[in-house]
Structure 1
Amino acid sequence: MPLPFIFLTLFYFIFSGVNALYGVNEFEIIKEFIRSLAIVVFSVEVLHRTSKKEIFNILLIGAVSIIINALVFPLANANFYPTYGRYSGFYLNPNLAGSICLIGYSLSYLVPKLGFRVLGQFILTLAGILTFSRTFILIWLLINLVAIYRSRKNIITPIIGAGTFVIFFAISSMLSLNKERFSAFSSIFSNEQAVQTKTLGEDSRTETWALYTEYVLDKPLFGNGYYFFQLHRPGLPGVHNSYLMVIGEAGILPFLIMIGIYLFILYRSLLVFKTNPEYLYLSLTISIYLMTGHGYFDNYCNIFLSMYVYINVKEKLLNEQQSIFTS
């Protein structure tokens, strides 16, 4: 039973619920609490019965939906205006879609057949590019660098990525893309003397987080209440950071539990890096992407996949210790 996730869910909803602003629907809080707790408690058996191959295939289908969204239904942007030009397929949010593509990309290193692995990495990379997520590009590069460090055979993956970018730019004229981000991305690979850092840096996450500093410091122990950082109640943009959301809405205790969970996952993933590098790729992707969105208790993907890594690295080390003891 993943007790840290249970405690995180309990304390987040208890503290944020007690401090919820007047007018927030109490029934909604209870409903979301039951949903989140059900995901944490009942997903354990699902995770034990689900193979890495099955998760990879599901995420690959999700990546294909992003490409179809861009090619066939470019105006279908449910949560944004029709000409938004950033695509998300089944996931409805480009940042979430970008994280899903990276999680699938992390698992692609386990695919034994070279042809299928190359195809999967191409699809996941292309889909990730179509989300126009700046974080996707950064983590994609990080994963590839770590993968090459582990094995020189993985040098093929950046080559696949370069080919994907070439194809993307070749077909870009046929797509309805976010003009500002496309122009900025193009400047990185063109002969322009200066990259369009203004566009790449606009709506900077660090600037957004800084806007919420006073609200965190104002109520650090028990937070400002449920949805305070998500529904822009201070008249500000959404916080776009799950760690800040937790401390800002529910206070220091749930925040420390959350930080502890992801430090534990990262540390344990490093311990099994030689035999199972995919866990480090997954840990890096999830823990970094949590700093780009605040839907941790809403979309369930982050909790589900975080639990997947947590359970596997814990069992992996336990099995290794038992084998050493019995040998």
Structure 2
Amino acid sequence: MINFIRRYIEYILLTGLYIWICYCSITNMGSNAGIVFLLFVVCIAIKSARASFCVMVSLLFSSMASLNMPSPIIISSAIIFLFNFRRLKISGKQLSLSKLIIPFFFYLVIRIVSYLYTINDELFSSAINVDFITFISICLALLLLNDADDVAFVERWIGLLGILATGYGLYYFLNNETAYLGEIYAGTDFAGKGVLGDDLIKAWLRWVPIDKEPNFLAALLLFPLGYWLSLVSNKITVGAMVGLSITYLGVLFTYSRSSFLVSTLILLYVLFVNKKESFYCILLCIIGLFIGVFLYFPEVVDRIFSINDNIKSEGGSGRFGLWSEAIINFMSNPILGVGTGQTPAYSPSRLGTHNLFLQILGENGILGFSLFSFIWLSAFTRMKRYLLCNSFYFYAFLGYSINLMTVHNFDLRIPFFVVLLFYAYVQSTNKPQSTIKRPVYSQLKSKRKSLLFNKTEYSSK
């Protein structure tokens, strides 16, 4: 009876958490569209509240909404965590706790200790707040994913989010509410201008909950893009091609040149390693998209083809200078860095590094950087051991890792969340080691075991 009541309360808390997060994402939409979408969300949450990975994916896509959650929602999350502490402990062992939670705990300690030598308390508090929510998100996601028995449902929802994000930006465009890059820097010298003081660049598809930052949206769209790519590489369907086209279009209209390069490289990789049918389908899809964009939105094409000039004359939109500042910060204190969240305080432009790895190196020194790299590399090695080469997790992880070298991710929850994806995916599917690119002797060994097993079974009969 007690377990039943506890499970029922947890159901209500998770459903409420899920609805709140999604509601924060649609508050700026029209009332009718918002109500319909909210009803859709409620149906999914009630259908699969515990096992639904949608809660954490919604957190990922609605980072600003989750940071501003009211106290009741945070308390609900804490209650869920306490209810499931034992399950969390078991899940942690199954998901290699030592490779995820413990390194992150020490990483968090280093981030907190840096308060002793920070020069801006407000920047520090903001960064630490994100870190704590990161830890809560990881614990909750660990619980939810361990219960996720329908992995296909999880993957479909990630793909659907790419279409929803693109559609969300289209909704704003049709209602003449297009945002500008200059809005990000309201109250600074960059207000009303681009980062380099150039003319405003309209970012047509920008999902507002993610800090009005097109680079964030472009990076996150790599996940649904990878999902649709994995479907097309296995079996070509109309739905998969439509999903791939819409999501890739979303990446294009973020005006993020780095994400465009990353997504295009991933597409080319799939083209040359998969069957001919996939090659021609994806190639035609890309050509059709470019023709349509060139005819109706030539400014997007101009933006894309300015990559070479941007690198030569503008220093990567000022990124090269920001990277140099991160190295200087690191050299000033190689062990612990300049302090958590302090990069803008030391930068003349008051901006982040636009390279997550270099930013952590500058802020938390070799200790913080080593722990972060260990967590990231352990996810990669685990993925390499257990996941198939055409898994969308591989495409997303590869693209996201490259993208983090050019984008400063203000919300560190997202990278750690990405790492969690791979641990949880392995646990949920319990996949054996991939047979792709496996040595010949190991294949012969497995065949020999199979023959011996069949022989033993036949003898027993």
The alignment's TM-score, normalised by the length of structure 1, stands at 0.81
Q: Secondary structure of 1:291's partner? A: coil
Equivalent positions of 1:115-194 (< 5 A) are 115-152=238-275, 153-155=277-279, 156-172=281-297, 182-185=301-304
Structure 2: stretches of 5+ with no match in the other structure: 1-91, 186-191, 194-199, 434-445, 454-461
| 8 A Cα contact 1:241 1:292, kept in partner | yes
Cα drift, residue 320 of structure 1:
1.6
Q: Are positions 1:100 and 2:224 aligned together?
A: no
| 8 A Cα contact 1:242 1:291, kept in partner | yes
Cα drift, residue 107 of structure 1:
0.9
Report the structure number with the largest CA radius of gyration: 2
Q: Are positions 1:85 and 2:181 aligned together?
A: no
Q: For residues 353 and 165 of structure 2, what CA distance do their matches in structure 1 show?
A: 26
Listed one character per residue, the Cα deviations across residues 187-232 of structure 1 (whole Å, up to 9, x for unaligned) are: 79xxxxx977657854153342123212111111111012111x24
| 8 A Cα contact 1:19 1:226, kept in partner | no
Cα drift, residue 293 of structure 1:
2.7
Structure 1: stretches of 5+ with no match in the other structure: 189-193
Cα drift, residue 73 of structure 1:
3.7
| 8 A Cα contact 1:184 1:195, kept in partner | no
Q: Are positions 1:32 and 2:130 aligned together?
A: yes
Aligned residues: CA RMSD: 3.3
Moved more, 236-245 or 95-104: 236-245
Q: 1:106 to 1:218 in 2, by over 3 A?
A: same
| 8 A Cα contact 1:13 1:250, kept in partner | yes
Query: Residue 413 of structure 2: which of 300, 307, 319 is its match?
Result: 300
Specify the alignment match of 2:40 in structure 1: none
Aligned residue pair count: 313
Cα drift, residue 137 of structure 1:
2.0
| 8 A Cα contact 1:16 1:250, kept in partner | yes
Q: For residues 195 and 295 of structure 1, what CA distance do their matches in structure 2 show?
A: 25
Equivalent positions of 1:1-40 (< 5 A) are 1=92, 3-6=98-101, 7-8=103-104, 9-24=107-122, 28=126, 30-40=128-138
Q: For residues 141 and 200 of structure 1, what CA distance do their matches in structure 2 show?
A: 23
Q: Are positions 1:257 and 2:371 aligned together?
A: yes
Moved more, 63-72 or 283-292: 63-72
Q: Secondary structure of 1:147's partner? A: helix
Q: Are positions 1:56 and 2:142 aligned together?
A: no
Q: 1:30 to 1:129 in 2, by over 3 A?
A: closer
The alignment's TM-score, normalised by the length of structure 2, stands at 0.59
| 8 A Cα contact 2:355 2:408, kept in partner | yes
Specify the alignment match of 2:346 in structure 1: 233
Moved more, 63-72 or 242-251: 63-72
Aligned-pair identity in percent equals 20
Equivalent positions of 1:64-83 (< 5 A) are 64-77=167-180, 78-79=183-184, 81=192, 83=200
Moved more, 63-72 or 284-293: 63-72
Specify the alignment match of 2:51 in structure 1: none
Q: For residues 305 and 239 of structure 1, what CA distance do their matches in structure 2 show?
A: 20
| 8 A Cα contact 2:337 2:364, kept in partner | yes
Q: Secondary structure of 2:202's partner? A: coil
Q: For residues 198 and 184 of structure 1, what CA distance do their matches in structure 2 show?
A: 15
Q: Which letter maps to 1:35?
A: I
Moved more, 267-276 or 256-265: 267-276
Q: Secondary structure of 2:184's partner? A: coil
Q: Secondary structure of 2:354's partner? A: coil
| 8 A Cα contact 1:139 1:285, kept in partner | yes
Listed one character per residue, the Cα deviations across residues 171-201 of structure 1 (whole Å, up to 9, x for unaligned) are: 216xxx5xxx75243579xxxxx97765785
Q: For residues 312 and 243 of structure 1, what CA distance do their matches in structure 2 show?
A: 24
| 8 A Cα contact 1:74 1:85, kept in partner | no
Q: For residues 100 and 114 of structure 2, what CA distance do their matches in structure 1 show?
A: 16
Q: Which letter maps to 2:213?
A: N
Specify the alignment match of 1:191 in structure 2: none
Q: For residues 104 and 203 of structure 1, what CA distance do their matches in structure 2 show?
A: 27
Query: Residue 338 of structure 2: which of 199, 206, 224 is its match?
Result: 224
